[in-house]
Amino acid sequence: MVANSKVANTQPKRLSIGIIGGGIGGVALAVALSRDSQLDVQLFEAAPQFSEIGAGVSFGPNAVKAIQRLGLEAPYQRIADSSPAPFEDVWFEWRRGSDDTYLTASLAPGVGQSSVHRADFLDAIVANLPEGIAHFGKLCIGVQQDADSATASFDDGSHFKGDVIIGFDGIKSAVRPHVLPPEQYGEITPFWSGTYAYRGMIPTRDLEAALKAKGSEKRLALVPQMYLGKDRHILTFPVKQSQLVNVVGFITDRSLPNPKLPEGEKWVQAVSQEEMLKVFAGWSPACQAILECIPEPTRWALHELPELARYQRDRVLIVGDAAHALLPHQGAGAGQALEDAYVLASLLTDEHCDRQTVGGVFAAFEQVRHARTCKVQRTSHEAGDVYEYADVGIGDDETKLIKNLETRFGWLWNHDPYHDVVAAWQYISQF
Ligand SMILES: Cc1cc2nc3c(=O)[nH]c(=O)nc-3n(C[C@H](O)[C@H](O)[C@H](O)COP(=O)(O)OP(=O)(O)OC[C@H]3O[C@@H](n4cnc5c(N)ncnc54)[C@H](O)[C@@H]3O)c2cc1C
């Protein structure tokens, strides 16, 4: 299909689709589309193989619903962790980081904290991808289209020509400039949020012992926790069938309205434990116990995208982080990518979607997804301010903080992406 030359897709299929990017979103979309024998689906990944980092990812009820609707529930449930009894409905417990005082819990009835090890999840969905669809070492460097087709070019000199191209290629997307040409929309680049995230994984037994040694409750290891403080917070939740605890400690510089990452600094780098401990000096015994169990943390400069004016240009569409990369404070980015994948797969596998109508289908997708994904971007940024006692209306007023934490996730979680599919077809039927 793909060689070091221009390749036209000659199969007599209803639609030929090129997906750029084989992360969680791109693979989930490819799996769902590949079930329709009338579609020719090709997935292009820059890396030499599918790969995810060894960290945890947490899913809200809306993301779990998208996973079910994508037909991936069985592989997901085989590897997913949840909050232990009697805390099954707890998404996170919230505590004051200075002394571990319990503030409240955010409850997600029936789902609680549903989380997985990223690499395990990617492996689990990749297992559902038919042979021959994925192509590796395919770094997309640009996209073009004409009235009848769209073409992606790769850095090895090869091309893919199909009916449509879908950019699922993450925050640094190479497809995005085609959808939003810089001449018209200006240069769109990810910006640093001012937040660094220190990440690590701890064997659960080690963390339980460390908590006990500090006089803290052992159960803090397995029940998901958020420890809050001025310009900082720490989260923990279990992964790998509770054998490991995923930890992220955040610090935010709010001294400038538009903080800039020092010139040449890498987005992700290994740092010393000493640096991380210094950031959280004076925090509670439980927090010290957690951080002391991470000898080799990595530090991530968290970037996000501005809300984009559009996601679609005729035969080319961007989705997932390529379209709406956001801060991880509501555990929602991968969930939005999975909602995108489900809605898009439902529209493209409908027999009414073909070479002639697909541009309108993409426009309908943008119409139903844009407001929600932008709101998730906005509220994810705002959540960081709330957790770090920096929200303009809440500050360090813990009564207001508690009320916010108990209610802020309802609109995000109580969403069935099936309704987006229905709304998209209603939109299409108007034309
Ligand atoms: C610290 C942190 C914690 C997070 N925690 C959570 C969480 O708990 N819950 C949650 O829902 N989300 C979380 N997220 C967000 C989540 O990781 C992303 O939203 C999600 O991975 C986006 O998926 P994606 O498939 O759109 O993009 P990505 O996962 O970025 O995948 C993009 C893929 O495209 C490939 N690619 C890139 N450029 C090209 C190119 N030019 N050509 C070909 N291939 C290319 C990449 O190699 C990659 O495989 C977190 C993010 C961070 C930084």
Strands across the sheet containing 159-162: 140-145, 150-154, 159-162
In contact, 14 and 351? CB cutoff 8 Å: yes
pLDDT of the residue at 11: 54
Distance CA 369, CA 339 (A): 9
From the candidate CATH numbers 3.90.1580.10, 2.40.170.20, 3.50.50.60, 3.40.30.10, the one assigned to the domain spanning 15-55+120-189+308-429: 3.50.50.60
Segments of the chain scoring below 70 in pLDDT: 1-11
CB count in 10 Å sphere of residue 137: 14
Cα angle 217, 199, 120 (rounded to 5 degrees) comes to 95
pLDDT of the residue at 6: 43
Domain ranges of the chain: 15-55+120-189+308-429, 82-118+190-304
Q: Determine the residue of 91, 122, 169 to mutate for testing ligand 1's pocket, defined as the one with the most ligand atoms within 8 A of the Cβ atom.
A: 169
CA distances from 119 to 26, 53, 89 (A): 14, 6, 25
21 within ligand 1 shell (Cβ under 6 A)? yes
**What spacing in Å lies between the alpha carbon of 400 and ligand 1's midpoint?**
33
Q: Which residue type does 339 have?
A: E
Distance CA 22, CA 376 (A): 23
Whose tokens are 């640009």? That residue is 142
Say if strands 298-304 and 312-313 run parallel, antiparallel, or are unpaired: unpaired
332 within ligand 1 shell (Cβ under 6 A)? yes
Catalytic residue status for 310: no
Cis before 84? omega within 30 = no
Ligand 1: residue whose CA is nearest its atom 26: 320
Distance CA 19, CA 25 (A): 10
CB count in 10 Å sphere of residue 295: 9
20 within ligand 1 shell (Cβ under 6 A)? yes
The CATH code for residues 82-118+190-304 is 3.30.9.30
- Each residue of 94-117: pLDDT tens digit? 999 999 999 999 999 999 989 999
Class of residue 343 by CB neighbours under 10 A (exposed 0-12, middle 13-18, buried 19+) = buried
Would you give the end-to-end CA distance of the chain in angstroms?
Answer: 35
In contact, 88 and 80? CB cutoff 8 Å: no
pLDDT of the residue at 83: 85
Distance CA 345, CA 76 (A): 19
- Each residue of 292-310: pLDDT tens digit? 999 999 999 999 999 999 9
pLDDT of the residue at 10: 54
Distance CA 32, CA 344 (A): 9
**What spacing in Å lies between the alpha carbon of 25 and ligand 1's midpoint?**
8
**What spacing in Å lies between the alpha carbon of 14 and ligand 1's midpoint?**
30
384 within ligand 1 shell (Cβ under 6 A)? no
**What spacing in Å lies between the alpha carbon of 54 and ligand 1's midpoint?**
13
In contact, 376 and 413? CB cutoff 8 Å: no
Catalytic pick among 176, 199, 313, 315: 199
DSSP letter assigned to residue 253: -
Residue 32, token pair as written in the block: 């769902």
For residue 252, what are the β-bridge partners? 195
CA distances from 63 to 109, 224, 234, 334, 340 (A): 14, 18, 23, 8, 10
Which residues are CB-neighbours of 264 under 8 A, at least 6 positions away?
none
The alpha carbon of 261 is separated from its chain's Cα centroid by a whole number of angstroms, namely 22
Backbone angles phi, psi at 19, to 5 degrees: -105, 125
Which residues are CB-neighbours of 429 under 8 A, at least 6 positions away?
none
For 286, the 3-state DSSP assignment is helix
- Minimum-distance ligand 1 atom for the alpha carbon of 199: 1
Distance CA 350, CA 142 (A): 28
